[in-house]
Structure 1
Amino acid sequence: MARGFTSTPRGYLATFESGEQRLLRQLFDDVITLLRRREDETRSDAETDQAGAEAEPDTEAGTGDAGDADIATDSDFWALVSGISAGTGENRRAAPSEAATLRLLPTGTPDAASEAEAQEFRALTEDAVLQAKLEDLQRAIAAVESRHLVLDLAAAESFGRALNAVRLVLATRLEIETDDDAARVHEISDVANADSVDAYMALLYNFTSWLQETLMTALLADLPDQLGAADDDHGEREDRP
């Protein structure tokens, strides 16, 4: 049976059975698959936009003098214009259509004045957010290759983010939106009661929630020490000539 995270002099320690290792690896890998699918989708859209820009007809020429026509028919000019236009290319990106992927990659600017503004913000930020989540999940998969996890602070924070990504996907699948929904899911705590796909997912959600809670508790318990160390380091830097 898994032993949740505790803070030790060596780092943040947790222990798993082999079956729990396989389960966590699979959960992390499932979320990676979702993100890779989104990555492929946006890459395909970008390639389609690029192909459309390269196929832009040169019939716009002839509306001005000869010098203007030379500029208007220049393919490099049109490539530049298509790249900076707010209405084409990578500056517009619709939100994911799959609910779990949208939960992982939510709209970063809920106060956007328009859908176009929200799409543009997503186009500018989503790839970086997606890659950061992939890196956390890949580190987590590597970490659980060992039954005995010993994580330093940075690795523990990364592992916590990976667990949270799993929980977001499971919460979406289980339609957890209110406290009552969460209470309903938490009631399923015995594998003997897992008589459906939703019940099994509820067990997974409760397991990852418990594991994340033990990690957050251990991290928060060490927070005063971490802040004190940061203050000491800051003071030392200020004293240096």
Structure 2
Amino acid sequence: MPTWRFTGVCWVQGRQEWTLDPVTEEVRGVSFMLFMDESGQDHRHSPYEVLAGVCVEDRDLWNLVCEVQDAERTFFGQRISPDELELKGKKLLKRKTFRLAGQMEAITPERRAALARVCLEKGSRQRREDAGATGPTKEELTALAQAKIAFVGHLLEICARYRVRTFASIVDCEAPRPEGQLLRKDYAYLFERYYHFLEEQAESTMGVVVFDELEKVQAHILLGCQVTPD
């Protein structure tokens, strides 16, 4: 039975689609991007530190990003992560969100999106301290909260459709830390799981690790370099 390889890229309404051509050789040049970040390092609101990564195949990445951005517009009437802002789970799904979402009956999706947009716009004007800015109404706050919960559910469906995988290490905040140029165990264990995942893919599959922001010394430790702080 023939396998498939990618022979080209076409663009349809801003999305990336792959042209497939049946051949008798295996897929070449495929890679899985592992986007990593850390949480709980401030030791203030979480009993654990979490090192986690979201893994997506390179051919799915652009389409995934486009669908997430489209979902923002669908559920909130506008983008809620413009420019360099990030979607933070702790802000989308904090306790207040569920309390506000349940203070009224469920709002229809179309009206919910319109009210959520008004709520976001009012909040933006208040942060800018615009003259005459008014606060959101109870219905607008409810709509925004319900939109957040619905958006996260849809986001998980998108990730499932694109076969997104997650890897994570959870460490107690009181756990001892290595000194010098040693790689932390949470990194070592996570990379081990990622390695075994890649081993299960095609022989030519590659893995690419993408970090958010790291200090210079930490970055060099991951690369296996010996450096001294400036």
Do both share a fold (TM > 0.5)? no
Larger Rg: 1
Higher helix share: 1
**TM-score of the two chains, using structure 1 as the length reference:** 0.24
Higher strand share: 2
**TM-score of the two chains, using structure 2 as the length reference:** 0.24
